[in-house]
Amino acid sequence: MPVAPAALTLHELREQIAAGALDPRALLRDLLERISRLNPSLRAYIAVDPERVLAQLEARLQHGPRGPLFGIPITVKDNLCVSGEETACGSQILSGFRPPYHATVVERLLQAGAVVIPRANMDEFAFGSSTETSAFGPTRNPWDPARVPGGSSGGSAAAVAADVAIAALGTDTGGSIRQPASFCGVVGLKPTYGRVSRYGLIAFASSLDQAGPLTKDVTDCALLLSVIAGQDARDSTSAPMPVPDYLAALSEPVKGLRVGVPALPSDGLDPQVAAALEEAQRVLERLGMRPVPVELPHIRHAVETYYIIATAEASSNLARYDGVRYGWRATALPAGPARGGGIDASSAQRGLLPMYLQTRAQGFGAEAVRRILLGTYVLSRGYYDAYYLQGMKVRTLMKRDFDAALAQCDALLLPTAPTPAFRLGEKLADPLQMYLSDIYTISANLAGVPAMSVPCGLSREGLPIGLQLIGAPFQEAMLLRVARAYEQATDWHRRRPALAAAGTAR
């Protein structure tokens, strides 16, 4: 049985299209057919409008540009602005919002000739690790529909795993690309802070957010990263650093490289994940890499530090959603005779203030409210020094840990998540348990360093396990090189969920 076009990788499709062996229309039709068949139960996309996507392809075929992604559909998370397309960040409060401009990463995809498919499902405002906080309903894990796909880029990861996306963009503030990549058995990379423009990425925590690729293999990851990376005049935190040739880095040898193995807090670490990591280390050693024990002494404070800094930033970023400037507004306001201006007890019952209050009360879900409250608290007078300032100091210590560890090795090897995918509903009522699922990913965001997740095993229940590689700032090429060597020595990236096999051969 021939392999369905939607099941191919980005680099395979690119070759076939360039050689004239595949019509991009056939590819898009196959993909849209799979989306219409699988998405109602999977909910990897909030919504897809086939007509608009097909029209976009026709425009691309007529007018180009014929870049490296010519005619290839790329899925983007619902927090990356696509001009004229609804972009709601998984939230009721932004529903109906159509940005008047493209995020820079979206613009770069279009300049590379890609067809952009918007609205991969996500946790509301990227707050979460399971995609269950989406206002549009949870995404399911293609490997087991009773399980979560991880989050917050769960829609992007599930779509790639189920072959309803060729490749996708997600965003990562504390693990939101890597943890869903690990839960869904795909490759995910969070770039160095400043490597990729944040312009048009709806802000969660501006000092931590980065957009990055979720792909079927490491080569696709390198390809997509080369398209989106680079300085952008519209994001002052994007770095004026040249973008290396990530594809060329893939074939560089790994023999003699040093892999740093940190001593980690192991409470909550599933023995199956630990075993898969040990085996992955042996594979890297067989490839000629040398293990080096390293220390990351402050990593055990990662979760509490992150939940101070990230919520502080989130509470200020979310202050702008007031029912006036963006998206949705509450209409069911308490009735009463209209009276003019002034914020006093009586006008609080009607007029502008109640509109703000009702819009925010109804428009944000429970997790967003929790984050706004936590963030406002840690920033409040009297607590600022005790929480936010302390958090920033610990963040600096963590950055120094990484500097010291990465001076002794070329890449660090860690688990991505402590467990394989958990069940829907399992952690939703217990925020602390949910937050702890990010224990190994968060510190890379606090330190601003690049990190990626690569499939490295399957649990007894048949669920994917991911390994995480962390590198020095702007050393994405090193991570991709090690990941590619690992991938070539194993075949975990070729395993597909039964769902993906439905109607295709791979």
Q: Which of 185, 92, 188, 174 is nearest to 147 (CA)?
A: 185
Residue placing its CB nearer to ligand GLN in the complex, 105 or 126:
126
Residue placing its CB nearer to ligand GLN in the complex, 128 or 473:
128
- Spacing of C-alpha 293 from chain mean position: 29
Q: How far apart are CA 1 and CA 229, in angstroms?
A: 37
- Non-local CB neighbours of 98 within 8 Å, separated by 6+ positions: 83, 84, 85, 86, 87
Q: Could you count the other beta carbons within 10 Å of the beta carbon of residue 33?
A: 15
CB of 125 to ligand GLN, least distance (A): 8
Residue placing its CB nearer to ligand GLN in the complex, 52 or 423:
423
What burial letters (b/e) apply to 104-135, b meaning 16+ CB within 10 Å? bbbbbbbebbbbbbbbbbbbbbbbbbbbbbbb
Residue placing its CB nearer to ligand GLN in the complex, 104 or 173:
173
CB of 184 to ligand GLN, least distance (A): 15
Pair of tokens at residue 425: 């509903």
CB of 428 to ligand GLN, least distance (A): 12
Contacting positions for ligand GLN (CB under 6 A): 126-129, 152, 172-176, 204, 310, 438
Q: Which of 294, 261, 274 is nearest to 469 (CA)?
A: 261
Residue placing its CB nearer to ligand GLN in the complex, 437 or 475:
437
| Residue 190 is among the residues annotated as catalytic for this protein | no
Residue placing its CB nearer to ligand GLN in the complex, 307 or 492:
307
| Residue 77 is among the residues annotated as catalytic for this protein | yes
Q: Which of 177, 175, 191, 168 is nearest to 238 (CA)?
A: 191
Residue placing its CB nearer to ligand GLN in the complex, 120 or 310:
310
CB of 432 to ligand GLN, least distance (A): 12
Which DSSP string corresponds to 48-69?
--HHHHHHHHHHHHHH----TT
CB of 190 to ligand GLN, least distance (A): 8
Q: Rounded to a whole number, what is the largest CA-CA distance in the chain? A: 78
| Residue 176 is among the residues annotated as catalytic for this protein | yes
CB of 173 to ligand GLN, least distance (A): 4
Q: How far apart are CA 172 and CA 178, in angstroms?
A: 8
What residues form DSSP beta bridges with 115? 73
Catalytic-labelled residue, pool 134, 152, 153, 443: 152
CB of 429 to ligand GLN, least distance (A): 15
Judge whether 413 and 273 are in contact, CB under 8 Å. Answer: no
Pair of tokens at residue 122: 């996500």
Catalytic-labelled residue, pool 130, 176, 182, 226: 176
Judge whether 4 and 503 are in contact, CB under 8 Å. Answer: yes
Pair of tokens at residue 133: 């906080």
78 phi and psi angles, rounded to 5 deg: -70, 5
Please give the DSSP secondary-structure letter assigned to residue 392: H
3 state DSSP class of 179:
helix
User: Would you name the residues annotated as active-site residues?
Assistant: 77, 152, 176
